Amino acid sequence: MTTVYRFDDAWLLANILNGEGTYLGPAAALEGLSEEHVHAKPHGLPHSIAEIVAHMCYWQEWFNACAESGFTGIPEHAPEGWPAPSNGGWAALRDRYLRAIENAKRIGAAGALDKPLLPAGVVIPPLANESRGSGILHGAVHASHHLGQIITMRQLMGLWPPPAGSMTW
């Protein structure tokens, strides 16, 4: 049997999902953006903020579903994990992503985080050692990487700090 990464501290998981003490949380980082802002690609960047949030949402929901109801498959190709956001749908996309984070915290609080993410017989080497808890944690770390990209994009567009402010050091 493969040993899975042990992760059973729901408080730590919620803390990381919220960005408490380490970085500005997702809700604050996405605050105050207009539909026009989120579809811009400043300085020729390959993705817009809306595209990045749709990507983060896809993967957070994927990890949540694996942890909650079990593995049902994984995209074969990277573009499948980058769904196109709809124009005029920014508020709904942002809210959907924030709900996915809340759902991850709920799953963490419910327990069973130490069970394997993948069922027996499914071989996906990058996920072979993941437990349900470590999978959700990896989703949060993935999102923090992309939130950093979004913050840089906001800085390039002169949209930083967000309305609620941010640490400056």
Q: What is the pLDDT of residue 24?
A: 79
Task: Supply the pTM of this predicted model.
Answer: 0.88
The predicted model gives 99-125 an average pLDDT of 88
pLDDT one-digit tens code per residue, 66-99: 988 888 899 999 999 999 998 889 999 999 999 9
Q: What is the pLDDT of residue 22?
A: 63
Which pairs with CB-CB distance under 8 Å and at least 24 residues apart come from 15-20? 16/137, 16/140, 16/141, 16/144, 17/101, 17/104, 17/105, 17/108, 17/136, 17/140, 18/101, 18/105, 19/144, 19/147
pLDDT one-digit tens code per residue, 34-46: 999 999 999 999 9
